[in-house]
Structure 1
């Protein structure tokens, strides 16, 4: 993925340079120099642009159902939350820990329609360089999270459900430990989108894993996604 980021930078630099030269006013010589510079930059960028388009068009999996962003229940958001928990549970640290996922619809910028999924599709879904973060929270944060979900009309969650306005864990593990872990993005962990209930956690683990890279790997691993709409949030 670093290569794709570099390609974006190079192509963006080329477009910026062209834009800059086109704005120059003055002599005919300046216009001619601008044209020559633009052609030179296009020649430089062209092979990288072709490589980027080739990688973006690479099919990495497929979905047998439409994965959509929406409220109160988001099939794309729920699938992603479940994958976040599944990956985290592969770790010996989180294997026997109460763990949930909580992200936001605003961070998901496109649906994944039924059919083939390409690398470019994932960049449309997640164009940001958000990274995965783990937060350890006490149970007294639950009422704030419930109020937030009601105010927003729902957000993607996994590992628990909102039933008649109350968040319910699938077992008593969180209650017995009096805490739970949340996997989310660094943007939200820092209070983004007014998720202030993430502030001052009992513990915090930051990772270098980009959400976008995680989604790409999750699609590759599952290959054929069959995730059907479900009511995970209701009042």
Structure 2
């Protein structure tokens, strides 16, 4: 018992004599390491991933469709063949989903010219093509907009003077890009009506300064990524026939 008491007392004295030391961060050093060809490949890791890489490449490069003419977003004034392709594919693929979920139909599609990130060369079109055109994870959403918001959209397009991809709408601008007529289903846009506009979640959030998407009547998610829209469209289309047309022109 005496020995136990002695041990306890010694422990208490030892603990009470300890002082807490506070350490402070004084300096942080770092350096930039470039990830380039100067870094040697780890042969064991390369050997391990080789079969997975081969399978992935085969999947990405397997032909889905065929493109007979070179498509670029710089080949038109206010509409381009590749932009028309994307907008029409979105209308065709998403409309049945939206109709099934809500009982409504998409009135028009609006995407952004800058969102087209690659050209489509002549030849086979694959899943990799879709990833190159749309490398982002943007999802299709449908915004229900009042007529006055639609008129704000037209004002935005007039000032943009850019071939933003559209589908379901016919727009005629004058020589100075000011829009003088716009119809949906051959009807003039009405302030008293609402319209379902399919677009991307990026644009609904104000991307490309498209502020007219703010405060929509309603917003509907499609759970459908734009890239997947393109892949599904390519898969069911034997040969791409997209061209520059009269959906958005100057007169």
* TM value normalised by structure 2: 0.73
- Name which of 57, 80, 88 aligns with 2:94: 88
Distance 1:69 1:177 in 2: 35
Gaps of 5+ in 2: 1-32, 174-178
Gaps of 5+ in 1: 1-16, 24-34
Larger Rg: 2
Identify the range of structure 1 (190-199 vs 63-72) with the bigger mean alpha-carbon deviation: 63-72
Check if 1:56 corresponds to 2:56.
no
Identify the range of structure 1 (98-107 vs 79-88) with the bigger mean alpha-carbon deviation: 79-88
- Name which of 72, 75, 79 aligns with 1:73: 79
**In structure 2, the residue corresponding to 1:229 is in which secondary structure?**
coil
Check if 1:42 corresponds to 2:52.
no
Distance 2:143 2:135 in 1: 23
Q: 1:21-47 deviations in whole A, cap 9, x for unaligned?
A: x78xxxxxxxxxxx6x82332223222
Between Structure 1 and Structure 2, how many residues are aligned? 206
CA shift, 1:52, in A, is 1.8
Distance 1:159 1:231 in 2: 12
Distance 1:80 1:95 in 2: 24
RMSD, aligned CA = 2.7
CA shift, 1:182, in A, is 0.6
1:189–1:176: structure 2 CA closer, same or farther, 3 Å change rule?
closer
1 or 2, which has the higher helix percentage? Answer: 1
Distance 2:194 2:230 in 1: 27
**In structure 1, the residue corresponding to 2:130 is in which secondary structure?**
helix
